[in-house]
Structure 1
């Protein structure tokens, strides 16, 4: 299987390192310092206090590789425009593209039965560039349950979790997707196949669409946010609004906000990925976590005053810091 990783940040680095460690050939599209690090040292993974580097083929231009069997897109939403501009040489008629990303993807309503089936989401694909370059029928959705960070360019730290939930937008996994699942499982990742991947995406979003932006605004870890009763109540209100949207679109949550927040609180002083991005001066993935939810609420005719308030606040914050 010809496998290409597009984006070797924290999540991509963990997935890619597992694949490379299993002995499979892996190509990685990277740039700048990450490209240099991969060429000189390979892909690094730090786990249980031990750092190991694995050889990969690093390229800056996807055209050097040609069509792949599997392309793993593991970048944050602000980088997707660059992916759209460069990914075409990697995709043949049989290529599967696995999107290992936070938030709601552009293809979310393709194949999702319900009142918004087939809806186009301009907040995450404003020029339809992604839709035109990556056919939805070739997508594998991926929900990542791995806590990780980037130690330095080309080196990921795997802190907690090892799980990926994968599935196709149109329902039951095809033989090709089952083959991808088997490959990833053989690489030591905990793989769950889902026939309702959009529900899994919405459930994870419901849990992290509060902690990420609020931590970015405040600079606080998740435990401090949830220990404040006013902030906790604000999070619950946002989650109740998102649950109402989920019920309408066919992605019921099935958990109380307080129960989910208790789980988050039990994880201790967690620094969210968006707070890490603020500290590193990187653009924030606001659209995939909040703008798109606001857009979906508008299409559904559901009032979301708390989601709207949080979106406005974090949008102004990011603009004032040059992170948008």
Structure 2
């Protein structure tokens, strides 16, 4: 890979995570293109991207547009949009992707390629994540990296990102292993001050993070409770544990063993204090929720293998109905497998 000053890099989505990564790269002297729209686009074109960390504030130049054709083929495409947006967005990203382009989704939950790269079963597409296959058609898995994000950030206003805590990314090839191409991306991010963990089995890392988010996100969205209150209620905590035990069995079936008990994970999460999950924040802000990639995909994988998952099913159904009544999830029912 070329030096960072010569790289062509586009970040699709300038929300909290995309904006933070773009800002860190720009601060390290890497030219950054940003695909954005609305007020965010106007702000980026007028004054650049603002990064707030503690009491410090820095404005960083980026080239912003709402049209991929303005940038052309890129060396690295970082996708940082909400899951529900990607099936519609993916076709518009094609002008950015050439044979050597590396694609890096920095998104929550299970990605579209997740069940097409595992071993021990016949690969299958996840209808919950990629309903009509448009993501897979336009974003080649062979050029895609897997990523797990451990960054706490928020948007104070369009084009203004506030960093709260954490700056870790876990990276690995979507098809397994850790290639020279992935190492080059890892080195690029390290030069920008990010903490990078290299993974030879990124599916395992994705599933482990999902194992916790599967319950904390939707249950907090349903109840409006911060995590300390959720885990402080014995009945709710045990229900979440039961759903996590179901997810652990699914993980074993797809080669993503979780070597931890739900109660141990709860203890770690509880120490983070009274925080609101991203899904609860989305509900309170009236934004569409990332239900399918976190809960819907888990439900789909379990039922694909004929597993009974009553707790996961309940979480999925209740959260979906709650979101539909608020206009935060499509009214139509996406194709889902019959119960096994």
Could you report, residue by residue, the CA deviation over 1:20-43 in whole angstroms, capped at 9, with x for unpaired residues?
A: 110100000000011011111211
Residue-pair matches, total: 323
Could you report, residue by residue, the CA deviation over 1:54-93 in whole angstroms, capped at 9, with x for unpaired residues?
A: 1000011011111000000011101112321310000000
In the alignment, which residue of structure 2 is the partner of 1:237? 242
1:216 corresponds to 2:221 = yes
Q: Secondary structure at the match of 2:115?
A: coil
Instruction: Give yes or no for contact 1:110–1:169 (8 Å, CA) kept in 2.
Output: no
Determine which of 225, 228, 248 is the counterpart of 2:230.
Answer: 225
1:21 corresponds to 2:43 = no
* CA positional deviation for 1:163: 0.2
* CA positional deviation for 1:287: 0.3
* Uncovered stretches (5+) of structure 1, i.e. residues with no partner: none
In the alignment, which residue of structure 2 is the partner of 1:81? 87
TM, length-normalised to structure 2: 0.93
| Distance verdict in 2 for CA 1:34–1:82, change over 3 Å | farther
In the alignment, which residue of structure 1 is the partner of 2:115? 109
Q: How does 1:282-301 map to 2 (within 5 A)?
A: 282-301=287-306
TM, length-normalised to structure 1: 0.98
Alignment partners' CA distance in 2, 1:209 and 1:51:
34
Alignment partners' CA distance in 2, 1:104 and 1:60:
27
Which structure 1 residue ranges, 4+ long, deviate > 3 Å from structure 2?
none
Alignment partners' CA distance in 1, 2:261 and 2:161:
33
In the alignment, which residue of structure 2 is the partner of 1:261? 266
In the alignment, which residue of structure 1 is the partner of 2:194? 189
Determine which of 145, 154, 166 is the counterpart of 2:150.
Answer: 145
1:310 corresponds to 2:308 = no
Alignment partners' CA distance in 1, 2:12 and 2:243:
33
* Uncovered stretches (5+) of structure 2, i.e. residues with no partner: 1-6, 330-340
Could you report, residue by residue, the CA deviation over 1:187-244 in whole angstroms, capped at 9, with x for unpaired residues?
A: 0000111110010000000011111111111111111100011110111011111111
In the alignment, which residue of structure 2 is the partner of 1:93? 99
Comparing 133-142 and 170-179, the one that deviates more: 170-179
Alignment partners' CA distance in 2, 1:267 and 1:138:
35
- Cα RMSD (Å) of the superposition? 0.9
* CA positional deviation for 1:109: 2.0
Q: How does 1:123-162 map to 2 (within 5 A)?
A: 123-162=128-167
